């Protein structure tokens, strides 16, 4: 069974500082990895994905994530945090093959402090 | 930019009643999904739908649940006899390739 772990319930970072939100995964075969963001009372917004290729993937709003196969990690990063980045971030994984279900992590609340 | 839409945004129903949650996926997408998020918990997969049939479902998706794509544009989730524990945010998603899924804003279902 596939699974995702987000070890931090909350991450606090000062505005302008770099941020990292951690994610590790477990899946059979090659993973397809995603990050989604959820603002209060809103749906899930797609940030970025890793399917294959370069281990560093760039996404929306200046976010990027690094795929590390040996550590089975897919940490989300941003060089300079904005207050507007404060939201709930979900890491997700699906397995090889089409129309695979996506398994989400529990979510990490990011709080950017002005 | 095309987006997935869901109606209603909030549905309140009494226990034992039937509810239908509606979704309009992005028009050229081929794969469709329902997920739910109980308050304070993680997003859970319910069902995936492709080529007019269910391709995968979770253990949550029991006989009380059904999905339908009645007219080529809408994608519905029906709960036949709602229970208190069905109270959650229900998200519809669609995908062109089965990988990158685009989510709707959700329907908050409250069962009283």
Kindly give the confidence (pLDDT) of every residue in chain A, 114 residues in length, as a single tens digit, with 9 standing for 90 and above: 789 999 999 999 999 999 999 999 998 888 889 999 998 877 788 899 998 888 999 998 999 999 999 999 999 999 999 999 999 999 999 876 545 788 899 999 999 999
- Is the separation of the CB atoms in A30 and A52 below 8 Å? yes
Q: Which residue has the tokens 């685009």?
A: B102
A-chain residues within 8 Å CB-CB of B106?
42-43
Q: How confident is the model at residue B40 (pLDDT cuts 50, 70, 90)?
A: confident
pLDDT of residue A96: 64
Q: Spell out which chain B residues touch chain A, with contact meaning CB-CB distance below 8 angstroms.
A: 6, 31, 33, 35, 41-45, 48, 50, 55-56, 58, 91, 93, 95, 97-106
What pLDDT shows up at residue A62? 95
Whether the CB-CB separation of A101 and B58 falls below 8 Å is answered with: yes
pLDDT at residue B112 greater than cutoff 80: yes
Helix segments in chain B, DSSP class H? none
What's the rounded Cα separation, in Å, for the pair B24 and B87? 22
Nearest to A7 by CA among A105, A114, A111: A105
Residue A99: which of B42, B50, B104 has the nearest Cβ?
A: B50
Q: Which residue in B34, B42, B102 has the most chain A C-beta atoms within 10 A of its own C-beta, making it the best mutation to test that interface?
A: B42
Percent of chain B whose predicted confidence (pLDDT) is above 90: 77
Question: From CA A113, how far away is CA B11, in angstroms rounded?
Answer: 35
Chain centre distance of CA B63: 15
- State yes or no: pLDDT of B107 exceeds 60: yes
Interface contact flag, B44 A104, Cβ < 8 Å: yes
């Amino acid at each position: 069974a596939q699974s995702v772990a987000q070890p931090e319930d909350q991450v606090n970072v000062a505005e302008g500082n770099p941020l990292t939100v951690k994610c590790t995964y477990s899946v059979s075969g090659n993973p397809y990895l995603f990050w989604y963001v959820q603002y209060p009372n809103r749906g899930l917004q797609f940030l970025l994905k890793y399917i294959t290729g370069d281990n560093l993937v760039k996404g929306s709003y200046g976010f990027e994530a690094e795929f590390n196969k040996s550590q089975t990690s897919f940490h989300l990063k941003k060089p300079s945090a904005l207050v507007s980045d404060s939201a709930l971030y979900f890491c997700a994984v699906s397995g090889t093959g089409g129309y695979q279900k996506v398994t989400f992590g529990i979510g990490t609340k990011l709080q950017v402090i002005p | 930019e095309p987006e997935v839409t869901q109606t209603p945004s909030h549905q309140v129903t009494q226990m034992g009643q039937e509810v239908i949650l509606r979704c309009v996926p992005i028009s050229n997408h081929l794969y469709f999904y329902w997920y739910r998020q109980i308050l304070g918990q993680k997003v859970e997969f319910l069902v995936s739908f492709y080529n007019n049939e269910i391709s995968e479902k979770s253990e949550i998706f029991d006989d009380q649940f059904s999905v339908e794509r009645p007219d080529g544009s809408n994608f519905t989730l029906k709960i036949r006899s709602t229970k208190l524990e069905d109270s959650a945010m229900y998200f519809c998603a669609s995908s062109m390739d089965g990988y990158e899924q685009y989510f709707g804003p959700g329907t908050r279902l409250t069962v009283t």
